[in-house]
Structure formats: structure tokens, C-alpha cells
Structure 1
Amino acid sequence: MKTMACITLNKKFKSTLLFTTILLFSGFNFSCEKFVDIKKNSSQSLIETADDCQQILDNYSQMNTLYPSDGELSADDYYLGEEGYLNPDVGQEERNLYAWMPTAIRGSASQWQSAYLIVYHANLVLETVEKLKGSADQSILDGLRGSALFFRSFAFWQVAQLYAKPYTIATALQDPGIPLRLNSDINGVSSRGTVSQTYERIIQDLQEAVTLLQPTSIVSSRPNKAAAYAMLARTYLSMEDYPQALINANLALQINSTLVDYNTINRDVFVLFSPRFSSKEVIFHSVTSLAPILNPGSAANNVAKIDPSLVASYASNDLRSVLFLKQNTSNVNVPDTPGSSDSTSVTANDGTYRFTGNYEPNTRSIFFNGLAVDELYLIRAECYARANNVTAALGDLNTLLSSRWNNTSVYQPIVATNVDDALSKVLIERRKELLMRSLRWTDLRRLNHDARFKKDLVRKVVRITPKVIGSISTGYIISFDYPAIATYSLPANDLRYTLLIPNEVIINSSLTQNPR
């Protein structure tokens, strides 16, 4: 039995995956003439057994990584200083997306293709499982089918958050959705269908997956029943179907409701949640593609800085304020003596903060976007509040927050004056808890439909400017100003909340581009 997701593939299988990776990144999801002869020569025939299927699904780098990061890039939890904006690792496409430019578009289809490569391998497993019926253990085949359905729906949902309009009952039957590739034929013609069809397929796959998967898995990179219920809860929440989100959050929490006491986490280590797969809160582990503009870096060398108002919203005894956030520093030249041209470089906290709460143990801009117990408590709390059950909503919220509170002080439970107050407090804590988890963009899209919570976004590129009073010889004080050198805005419900499909996809397919 293979007990780890990062397994060693046999020689035959390595060749298969290498071939399909090159093939798909060259043109998958495009109906191009140059691929018409690939089917009959494809190494798909080498995928013959249940063990082959399990190896595909257990290939962590293939199935659990490189999910789109442009939603997080487009959201409002961070901003840039001038140095970060001009960082040579940050490309012009990222700058355009940061500025919400109407023409902001990816030239390369890498984020699109990475998601559809996962879909391709899921479909390959589904087809092989179907062929193996009657010749292999049905319980094993059921697990493989359930996992493949989960991966396919998970990838579809990620793509839909960027390139399809937000789900609304009024327009879902008309708005263009995303291509729903349901087989491994790379020559199939892609069409967008509707938003309604997109979400129907995601839900259908997940609902079948929960009937096939085991409650838990031996490692969190493998799908399981709790993950499928959790993804259903997330999906229904993004559709604003709060009763169904509540039902599925409940079912997931019945399987796993474990919260980590943040007092047990060493706040001084380089990465908090290490090694990978070690957190008991994580139900399904996956990560986004690298995005240099989101790089938290180190105290002295960082790009993305967390929004100051968000930083200020954490209470002093909230351990997330020290686990999720770390102060940045700047080097400042201080005169050696009053009026002297000679100076000494000193390091000072510059009043900005970077994100350090990634469930993926690294300091780069590869962020956890999987499923975890804390998200489920917040989904359930929000749904309870929307169902006018303030007591249950605050019960879940306080259960979560008490596990994040410094045990050197007594946790004071959050109270609410009415339903709207309870809902508002849940949403505030949702943003603080799920920081940089690729969920904020989806939340903005759905909450913009509610006049109480819609938000016109404004963000800046700032110049971090030190002010020095005094000298080394007499003593000095350093303060910082943050004048904006550029300001950008995105009104609620703007068309730009649906990103433009990458240019490479449009050129090589018959898909229609999103409007501007």
C-alpha cells in the first residue's frame, strides 16, 4: 500500500506522465489541427490497472499544486510598496491585474492549463476505472472514482472563480460558464456552457464522491468524504445557497471538527505549519501556483504587505496577530551627529506587515488553498446567522476564536445585539482567519450582491518614507510616512470581477472572451 502522496513512480508511469504533461501544456483544451493524430498514438494505453490510477491520483505535484493564484492576486487583503511594485520578479501582467486594469490579461495560459491538466488526469482515471469494472476489487475502484470526481470538481471550481461570473439565480442560466471537459479526448471542442451548468457539474461530481470515499484518508493530499462535504459547503456558499452550505458543513464537521490550539504552536519558528500534512485541521491539502507579486518574503525583503486596516483588526491577545503577521523592517540612514553628512544605517520596524500564516510550510508565494476545519466552522456560523440562529452562529464563532486566543488572558466570548450584528462579526472573523487562502476574491464577488456588505475596493502603491529626528550621538526617533504614488479602484459588481480568459486560450480556441 502507498501511504504517502509524494510517491516514487515506476519507469513506465513516469514516461506516461511526462508525455501527457508536455502534450497538455502544449495545447490541451484547444481544438487544434496539429493534435488530430495524437489519440491513436497516446500512451494512455499504459494506464491499465487500479494501481496505475492510484499513482496518478497520488502524484502530489500533478494533482495538488499549481491551482490558479490570480484570484488572490486580485483581492484586497494586501497592497504594494514602491519597491515591491517595481521588483524585477513582478511582471507587467501582475501589475496590471493588481491595478484592476480593464485590459489586464494573461498572455500565457499556464494557470488555466494547470487546472485543466488536473481535470485531464481525473478523467483518465474515471475512464480506466470504468474499464476495470468486474476485473478489480469494486471497493478500490469506488475510492478511485470518488477521488477523481473530487479532483475534477475542485479544479472546475477554482477556474470558475476567475473566469465565470459569480453565481446568481437570476442570471446563472444565461451567463457563460467554463469548459466542462468530461473525458480525456484532447481533441474535443471546448464550449463554455452556462454558469448554471458549471455549478451543476461541480455539485454532481461532489455528491457522487461523498458516496464513494472513505470518511478520512491517511494523508491530507488524498481526497476523502469529509473533504467532499467541505467542498460542497464551500461551493454552495459561493452560490449563496446557505441552507445547503449549512447541511454540508455539518456533515463535514461530524467527521472532523478538530481545531488546533494556537497556544501549542511555536511562533518563533521559520514556518509555522511544518512539516506538510501535519496540521490536524487540514482536511485536504492543495496549493496555488507561484505569484511573485504576493511574495511575503522576509522582514527586510518582501513584496506583498497586508492591508493596515486588516492588521489593526486583530486583538492584542489574538494569537493570529503574531502567527499570521510579522513586522517588516527598513534600513534608515541616521546622521552620526547633528547636521553631519556622515551617517549610520540602522534597521527599524517600518510599520508594515507580511503574511506568515501559510498552511503550506514555505515563505514563498505558494499558498494553501485547500480545505480545513476552521473554514467549516466559519461557513456554518455564517449560515446559522443567515438562518436567524444567533446563538448557534456565535457558538461556532467563539469555539473557533477561543482556540486562537492567548491563554495568558481569559477569552471574552463575542456577543451580538441582533442577527445583522452577528452576521457582520462572523464575516469579519472569516476574513481574518482565512487570510491569503484564495477565498477572499470569491467572498467579495458574492458579498457584493448584498447592499450591507458590498465593497468598492481601493488600493495603492505607497512610498515608504522614513522621518528621522535626532542623530546617533544625541539619540534619534524614526517614524514613517506612506504617501501613495498610485491609487486604483474597483467598484462593487464591476465586470472586472470576472477576469479575462488568457490570450493563449482565446487565440487557440473558439471560446468567447469575457466582456469589458
Structure 2
Amino acid sequence: MNMYKHNILLSVFILSWILMNTSCSKFLEKKTDQSLSIVSTVDDLHELLVYYPWMNSYSPSLGEACSDNYYLTDDDWGATSELTQNLYLWQKYDQLKGDWSSPYRMINTANTVIDNADKVTINNSGEKQRANTLKSMAYFVRAFYHFGLSQLFMKVYNKETAKSDLGIPLKLTSDLNEKITRATAEVTYRQIISDLELSLKSLPISLKEKYLATKQAAYGELSRVYLSMQDYQNAGKYADSCLKLYHNLIDYNSVDSTSQSPFEQFNLEDIYDIQSISPNSLQQSKAKVDSTLYKSYANNDIRKYAFFQSNGDGTFHFKGNYTGKPGNHTMFTGIATDEMFLNRAECFARQGDSSAALNDLNNLLRHRYVKGTFKQYSSPVSGGLIKLILKERRKELLFRGLRWTDLRRLNKESEYADTLYRFINGKEYELLPGSDRYTIQIDRRSVELSGLIQNP
């Protein structure tokens, strides 16, 4: 990284850190114009937004640590951090640091681009188009990280109470003097959706760099957002819009399922590449895949071998990460075509179009089974089509940061709700549907310094 880029990023990092860690007037009285004056050209905007280790590596991950795809032994639980110990057992805990502050640093970087895109020096029409595209990408980034925060630090969306339920603090400018409070759930979601709609204005349809936002990425994120709202009409519509632009699937018969890292980064299914730093509870040496989940894969399902590896003691760890990296130190939390096919299939099923739902589901699974062995599902489906799709969704999208959102939304329907259990040191812990523990507490320091209302 050249020194100029380093200086720009360092300035934004310092401003973001001050923003999220203090409300003292002596800091806020300092103007930011001088620090941000180095953002003066379209190239400066580009340098801020396209630096992968900064913008694409800090997607929130605590939801996956709270989810039910894995379990810890007593010894492994004891060897994790105090943070992950508490979250694993769904206990109240408010010393979060990274998963609370890091997304806001990315949001503030996006805000710096948005605030300066119409102010930088423009020399020709090509630079004007570049500035518009970068601004659209920044709107996408801001929405992506705000949505990630919403799935941890506010209650699941409820249409009936959204106008009064607390949402998250929305950071919408790079100005440190902007007063930050918690928006309502309704305002939170409307802002995220508005940003994604704005991003569509100038986003390209395709790019060589899969870590930059495209129209299909924005459609995919809109599908995620509406799915979390249980708005299945819009979730299906945007999944469809995404898949009309990009619908490639990997034939898992072409994958080396014995490899420690079977999938390449930026692979054929990758629409938008972003990662999160895994909590230490999810490291391969600790996280044992839920045994019932593992047994749900048929022997001719290639995912059983590409996703998992034996620990040698009858347990298994997950290795099927789309990051292209061995180990579980990072997780792929981006948008991929398999997720979109499952989104659209579920939405078709919920709207009564079983034929279209089965077509999407069978198309996906055909790419997952040993060639010539997959027996297509047909209607009627034993046990119900929606349950089948949800079962396959869990089997396909594990350890991608999606399970927590799914648990939250599905708990609103008694037919699909789950009670989760943990067993540590001879004691049983449970997480009931609708529990306050589905909403993680905000970082204590931010509450103390900013006066934000804490979650229960």
C-alpha cells in the first residue's frame, strides 16, 4: 500500500474511532475539514473504497457464534475468550469492541466517499461517471454494514411494532458533530433499503473485481433485507432480479472435496465477496459441527465431503468456506448465487408456486450431488415444501453469517421456530424463540460515552 493511500485511510480510521468511542465536546469541537481535505480527487475516492483488507474484511460475525450449527466441548469452551464464552451460552454481555465498532468504521469510510463525491475535482465526463459509480458503491457499503449491525443489535423486524421498536444508530454523514441516537426499527430498515435503491442508479452490472458492488449485489442484498423482514414478495422479486443478471452455480463434481480448502476465493458463485474475522469459538480446532446437521447429508451429497472433515474422534469440523483460505479464521459472509436460488425458492413456495420453487431447489441440488445420482423432488413434498427448502438452506449456507438472521425471522412462525440448547460443565442452557438474547447488547463503552439506550 502506498503512503498516500495509507494517509487517507489512517485519517478516516482516526475519525471513525473518535466517533464511536467518545462524545466529549473537546473532540467534537475539532473540525474534520483539514483531515478530510486530502480527499480531493476521484482517485482518492477510489483508494478509500476499493482497499479490500479495509472495506471487505470486517462483516459482523457474532451471530454465527450464537447459532446452532456447532457446539463446543467443556475444555474448548473454557479456552475461548470471555466474550465468546458468554455469547455461546446466550448470556448478557456488553464488552464487544470489534463487532460493534468495526462496521461503523467502514460506514464512516463510505460516508466520506458519499460526502465528497460531488466535491472532488472532476476533469472530464469519464471521471464524473467514476465518481457517480463510487458514490453508488459507497451507498451499498453503508447499507450492507448497517444491515449487519441490525441483525445483532436490534430486535427482529416486526411490522406491527416497527415504528416504536428501537433500531440501531444510523451514521449518515462523515461529520463528527452529527448527533447519533438509535433510530426506530422502521427508520433503520427504510434507510438501508433507500441506500440500496440509491446504489442501483450507477452500479455496473458486472466487474472483474468481485469485492466491489454491482447491480446484482445490490439486488441480492435487497433480497436479504426483505427476507429478514418476512416480506417474501419483495425478497423473491429481488432474488429474481439478481439471478436474471447472474445465475452461475458450481458443479461440485468439479471440486476437490478432499482438499483442506475446496473452494477458490472469487469463485463462480461469488456475487459480492466480503469476509468476517471468526470468533475463536468457530476455529476448526474447537467448533464441532452439530451431529444431527452432519447426518442430514446423504452419502452421495458432495457437500458432506467438501464441507466437512473428520476430527478423528467421531466429530467433524467445517472446511467448506468460500474464502479460499484453509481454516476458519475468516468466514465468507458475502452474497452468492446459491443463497439467491434458495431465497427465491422459499419465496415461490410461500406464495404458492410450488413448481417454480421446486425448479430452483432441484437446480441447485443437481449441482451438489454425485453426477447422475440426484433424485429430483416433486410435488407434493412429504413434510411440506417450505420445511424442505429451509432444511436445504441450512445445509447449504452454514457458517456464512446467515443462520442467526434465519433463526430470528423463523421464530416468528411457530411451525418453524426452534429452541436452542447448549451443554457446558454439566449445565443445560436454552434459547427460547423470541428471547431477548436474540438481541445482543451494545458495547458498554459506546453506551457510557454516547448515552445510547442499551438493549435488555
TM above 0.5, yes or no, is yes
Paired with 2:311 and 2:400, the residues of 1 have a C-alpha distance of 21
Gap change, CA 1:71 and 1:267, over 3 Å in 2: same
Equivalent of 1:156 in 146, 165, 177 = 146
| Residue in structure 1 matched with residue 343 of structure 2 by the alignment | 379
| Residue in structure 2 matched with residue 12 of structure 1 by the alignment | 4
Q: How does 1:108-507 map to 2 (within 5 A)?
A: 108-132=96-120, 136-137=124-125, 138-274=128-264, 276-277=265-266, 279-296=267-284, 302-329=285-312, 350-362=313-325, 363-407=327-371, 409-417=372-380, 421-461=384-424, 485-507=426-448
Paired with 1:245 and 1:489, the residues of 2 have a C-alpha distance of 31
Q: CA deviation at 1:35?
A: 1.3
Q: CA deviation at 1:365?
A: 2.8
| Residue in structure 1 matched with residue 65 of structure 2 by the alignment | 73
Q: 1:52 aligned to 2:13?
A: no
The alignment's C-alpha RMSD in Å is 1.7
Q: CA deviation at 1:69?
A: 1.1
Q: CA deviation at 1:256?
A: 0.5
Q: Secondary structure at the match of 1:177?
A: strand
Cα displacement string for residues 331-384 of structure 1 (whole angstroms, at most 9, x for unaligned residues):
xxxxxxxxxxxxxxxxxxx11111111111230331010000000000000000
Paired with 1:386 and 1:54, the residues of 2 have a C-alpha distance of 42
Structure 2 counterpart of 1:388, one-letter code: G
Among all aligned residue pairs of Structure 1 and Structure 2, give the percentage whose two residues are the same amino acid. 36
Structure 2 counterpart of 1:460, one-letter code: F
| Contact 2:410-2:416 within 8 A present in 1 as well | yes
| Contact 2:11-2:36 within 8 A present in 1 as well | no
Q: CA deviation at 1:280?
A: 1.0
Cα displacement string for residues 234-255 of structure 1 (whole angstroms, at most 9, x for unaligned residues):
1100111111111111110011
Q: CA deviation at 1:34?
A: 3.5
Paired with 1:492 and 1:272, the residues of 2 have a C-alpha distance of 35
Q: Secondary structure at the match of 1:178?
A: strand
Cα displacement string for residues 288-326 of structure 1 (whole angstroms, at most 9, x for unaligned residues):
123111101xxxxx1011111100111110100001111
Q: CA deviation at 1:119?
A: 0.6
Paired with 1:74 and 1:416, the residues of 2 have a C-alpha distance of 35
Paired with 1:306 and 1:394, the residues of 2 have a C-alpha distance of 28
Cα displacement string for residues 394-430 of structure 1 (whole angstroms, at most 9, x for unaligned residues):
11000000000112x4210123426971111000000
Q: Structure 2: where are the runs of 5+ without partners?
A: none
Deviates more, 1:182-191 or 1:118-127: 182-191
Q: 1:36 aligned to 2:28?
A: yes
Paired with 2:124 and 2:311, the residues of 1 have a C-alpha distance of 57
Paired with 1:360 and 1:414, the residues of 2 have a C-alpha distance of 31
Structure 2 counterpart of 1:292, one-letter code: N
Q: CA deviation at 1:116?
A: 0.5
TM-score scaled to structure 2, two decimals? 0.96
TM-score scaled to structure 1, two decimals? 0.85
Q: Structure 1: where are the runs of 5+ without partners?
A: 1-7, 297-301, 330-349, 462-483
Q: Which has the higher helix share?
A: 2
Paired with 2:247 and 2:215, the residues of 1 have a C-alpha distance of 14
Q: CA deviation at 1:26?
A: 4.6
Paired with 1:179 and 1:94, the residues of 2 have a C-alpha distance of 24
Q: CA deviation at 1:185?
A: 1.0
Q: CA deviation at 1:132?
A: 3.7
Q: CA deviation at 1:157?
A: 0.3
Paired with 2:344 and 2:90, the residues of 1 have a C-alpha distance of 32
Paired with 1:205 and 1:509, the residues of 2 have a C-alpha distance of 25
Structure 2 counterpart of 1:127, one-letter code: D
| Contact 1:318-1:405 within 8 A present in 2 as well | yes
| Residue in structure 2 matched with residue 475 of structure 1 by the alignment | none
Indicate the structure (1 or 2) with the bigger Cα radius of gyration.
1
| Contact 2:283-2:328 within 8 A present in 1 as well | yes
Q: Secondary structure at the match of 1:459?
A: strand
| Contact 1:111-1:289 within 8 A present in 2 as well | no
Q: CA deviation at 1:24?
A: 2.5
Paired with 2:11 and 2:37, the residues of 1 have a C-alpha distance of 12
